[in-house]
Amino acid sequence: MIDVIQIIIESPFLQRAILGAILIAIIAAASGTFLVFRGLSFMASGVAHAALGGTALGIFLQDSGLVPWFDPILGALLFSVLVAAFTGYAGESGIAQKMEVAVGVSFALSMSFAVFLMYYIPPYRVPQIWGYLIGDILLLNNLDIIMLGSTTLLLAVITLMFNKEFVYVSVDMEGSTAHGMNARAYHYLMLIVSALAIALATKAVGAILVYAIMVAPAAASNELVKS
């Protein structure tokens, strides 16, 4: 046990990995719960895969010299927000099925866009795009931890402030509107913040695993509460 602690103390990348795992667990608990309530479990997978398109765009802009400062993670966040906004627009009527369709369309378009840009990206950088599918928590850098921490803090504050509103909108959007709530604003806020959290978690654990992390615990707890 002492040897393990010593290894962790002497290995900054392990410290970042452990801290990243803790932050992702907090993010998943907050975001996943509302996504399951809202009937949008597929959004976790859709946003995570949409991040590939944003990453490809960021790498393309860097290597082409068009926007040298544009980091791939910014592209991933941008695409995630766009998917969330498109999904929110489709679901303003409160019908979850329309949002699922919007996520599916965004999923396909983003992946297609990523594959298209790969033709114009140097081959040695293409694995960086596919890396978002698998992820590697041991490769998190200080900037990733700062962004994860900031997003976790933002998500925690927003969740604590608007927890009742989010639950009401998730369960009955039309009813919340009828009671005078600005359901549309809470609807978009919940989706966009969740999308940012998913995009950042994707870099650490990958688009495949982030879906399980976001959905499985929330779905299991939902069933336990019902029982």
Q: Where residue 5 falls among pLDDT bands split at 50, 70, 90?
A: confident
CA atoms within 13 A on the CB side of 188: 10
pLDDT tens figures, 135-181: 888 888 888 888 888 888 988 888 888 888 887 877 777 777 777 78
Q: Where residue 31 falls among pLDDT bands split at 50, 70, 90?
A: confident
> Where are the chain's structural domains?
20-219
pLDDT at res. 95: 63
Tell me the three state secondary structure of residue 95.
coil
CA distance 81 to 35: 15
CA distance 88 to 191: 7
Q: Are 204 and 23 in contact (CB under 8 A)?
A: no
CA distance 35 to 28: 10
pLDDT at res. 205: 87
Cα distances from 32 to residues 185, 197, 210, 218, 221, in angstroms, run 19, 10, 10, 6, 11
pLDDT at res. 115: 87
pLDDT tens figures, 37-74: 777 777 888 888 888 888 889 889 888 888 888 888 88
Nearest alpha carbon to residue 173 among 98, 106, 120: 98
User: What average pLDDT score do residues 9-33 get?
Assistant: 85
Cα distances from 52 to residues 56, 123, 177, 190, in angstroms, run 6, 16, 35, 22
Tell me the three state secondary structure of residue 11.
coil
pLDDT at res. 227: 52
Token pair, residue 165, equals 């509103």
pLDDT at res. 44: 82
What architecture does CATH give domain 20-219? Orthogonal Bundle (1.10)
pLDDT tens figures, 87-124: 888 776 656 677 778 888 888 888 888 889 888 888 88
**DSSP for 123-161, written as a single string:** GGGHHHHHHHHH--GGG--HHHHHHHHHHHHHHHHHHHH
pTM: 0.83
Question: 201 or 172: whose pLDDT is higher?
Answer: 201
pLDDT at res. 137: 86
- Name 120's Cβ contacts closer than 8 Å, sequence gap at least 6: 60, 64
Burial of 12 (0-12, 13-18, 19+ CB in 10 A): exposed
